[in-house]
Structure 1
Amino acid sequence: MNDNDREYVVTPSAPGWLTGIAVAGILLALAALAWSFSLQATLKGEQQKLDASSQQNTALSQRLDETNERMRAQAQTLGQSVGLTQKQLEDKSNELIAAQRTVTATTARLQREQNATSKQIGDVQTDVSSVKSDVGGVKTDVATTQADLAQTKTQLTRVMGDSGVMSGLIATNHDELEELKHRGDRNYYEFTLHKGAPAQNVGTIKVQLKKVDQKRSKYTLAVNSDDRNIDKKDKNLDEPVQFYSGKTPALFEIVVNNISKNEVTGYLSTPKSAPTPISVP
């Protein structure tokens, strides 16, 4: 079959790690919004406390003025009653004036602190706006990730194999292979073969790289399955190399998705019902 006879059918799919990123991005956006709402409620409470303190300070100043007037009158009356000198009256008056100055200074300090707190509230509100902007950025990132997922779905294809059988989905790189593994439809065994090296165990078969033509993206394999040797000559990149194996013959497929000088990488695909390698403890 010629290379031009390949048939590609797009099948939706998405890598697990990209889906994880999308979910993580959405959780981050929700957490940031919750923190923003909580912070705004706290700021509103602090502003109310400051307003109450300002009102109390104003009332205190008014009461102090009234007290000063009463004390001046009482001092004058007392001075007349007990015969206080003018100097003693002036001293009492000066004490009252000093007390008034202290209250004034305290009021000014409280006003400065209130202004500083208002500035801090403004700064925090600015930070809240920045957080909202960051949340918008996260939403954009999530949308971008979803677009990447959609793009990945279009990359998995079905191709006619070298034995004339329509293959299952094939992967042209490691990420697409991880997506196929995640689907769980078949067993997948990755490999890297070197020209001139002995036959290598891949799943339940042995595979040896006999020839590499990097310029033309072609290669030749020797496959040993069920004690019989199968030569697969001049195969193309991403072409499903098909053969039957097992007591109940099942379709095996080898796909080479990268060819370099004297080396190829790819994977073996077998049905779920096919035997699997015996694990050595």
Structure 2
Amino acid sequence: MSDQPRPPMPPPPNDPMFRSLDKTGPLEKAVRNAKQGGSGWVLPTILFVCIALLLGYCIFLTVKLSRTQEATELLNRDLDNSENRISQLEEELYKTENKLVQQIDATSKELSSVQAQQESEVQNIKAAVTQKADKDALASVDRKAQSIQSDVGEIKQNVTAVDSSVKQVDTKVGELDKRVEEQAKTIEEQRKLLEQSIHNINATREILDSTRESLFNLKTSLDRDYFVFQLHKKSGIIRVKDVGLRLKKTRKKDQRYDTEIFYDDKKMSKDKVAANEPIYFLKMGYKKPYELVVTQVLDDKVNGYLSVPKVAE
């Protein structure tokens, strides 16, 4: 390291601290140009323009202030007028209230007097009605008392007569009770006899019914021949006496069946026939019909009989 001093640093070109040292700035150039050129009218012109603008602005402010003052005066006048109007309205309102109070007082006094008059009249009417009612009530009570006394006398007489009648009725009732008991005994005996007779009649009727049924069965068995058969669905047509039978369908649950009957070159179909339901058909040469009855319906077969008259034409 050397001990020699360093040279000073040059100032920055745009630093305002060192602008006074710079003789080449725009202001210095303008001053030099003005001194050199002799143009001394620029500054007075600038001053004149500034003064003119200032005067114009003052005039504008003066005009605006005057207008504001006029508007303020108008508002003050309107405010005064409004206050006067409010005062007048308050006075009128006060007068109206006084009038209403006076009218209300007068009406109250009149109403009180009317109520007092009405109350006095009502009291007078009540007193008059009470006096009249008392007189009428006393007279009515006297009349009722007299009529009650006469009625009591009649009632006593009637009670005496009723007592005698009741005694007579008691004696008659006792006699009737005895007769009723005797008749009840007689009716009970007759009822027992009637029940016995009904029982005997029912027994006799049962005997007659059984006898009639036996006679009918005997007569039927004597007049007809019976042919028992068992008909299978797979057997086709089977011959019972002189009749052909064929089973088409059975319904064991419902005990019904479908069948076909062949006789005299005829075919008769019967569907959904119930068990023990007779099928009648008239065959040539007989006055009475044939009777076909199935007594039992099984799976794909039935059991029954064919009833045929014994006597032909």
Same fold by TM-score, threshold 0.5 exceeded? Answer: no
TM-score of the pair, normalised by structure 2: 0.30
Q: Which of structures 1 and 2 has the larger relative contact order (alpha carbons within 8 angstroms, sep 6+)?
A: 1
Larger Rg: 2
More strand by share: 1
TM-score under structure 1 length normalisation: 0.33
Name the structure with the higher helix share: 2
